Amino acid sequence: MNGHLTADQLGDLRAELERQLARLQRSMKFTEEAVRPVELDQTAVGRLSRMDSIQNQSLSRELQDREVARLSQIHGALSRIDRGAYGTCVECGEPIVFERLFVFPEAPECAACIP
Ligand SMILES: [Zn+2]
């Protein structure tokens, strides 16, 4: 049993988490391509476009960091559902209102405990 949530609510939230997980994993494949080391072949890439691609690469790295953090949040939420610990704030132990979980199903803490 996951705290105060009904089986229906929990089913919806799990389905949403799984959709977001699938979407995130697709997007992470593209990001992985984008952070590959910049090709240093002078003939293939001119100086300016090389600077562009280095800049793009650092943006992609930041994106990748955010995606990795999000991936672990989603995995964490799914594992809390499996353990029956979902919907309870990891900080204060109070139930997280369904409206918040509906918008942020991966949220590990209640609105009052947002870091
Ligand atoms: Zn809390």
Average pLDDT over residues 28-33: 93
Q: Find the 46 Cα to ligand 1 centroid distance in Å.
A: 53
pLDDT given at position 16:
97
pLDDT given at position 75:
97
DSSP code of residue 94: P
Q: 102 pLDDT exceeds 80?
A: yes
Q: Under a CB-based contact definition with an 8 Å cutoff, are residues 78 and 14 in contact?
A: yes
Q: 43 pLDDT exceeds 70?
A: no
Question: How far apart are alpha carbons 41 and 102 in whole angstroms?
Answer: 49
Q: Find the 10 Cα to ligand 1 centroid distance in Å.
A: 19
Identify the residue with better confidence: 69 or 38: 69
DSSP assignment of 21-78: HHHHHHHHHHHHHHTSPPP--TTTS-HHHHHHHHHHHHHHHHHHHHHHHHHHHHHHHH
Q: What are the residue boundaries of the structural domains of the chain, listed by start?
A: 7-87
Q: Tell me what the pLDDT averaged over the chain comes to.
A: 89
pLDDT digit string, tens, across residues 55-80: 888 899 999 999 999 999 999 999 99
Full-model pTM: 0.81
Q: Find the 101 Cα to ligand 1 centroid distance in Å.
A: 13
Average pLDDT over residues 36-60: 73
Q: Under a CB-based contact definition with an 8 Å cutoff, are residues 101 and 13 in contact?
A: yes
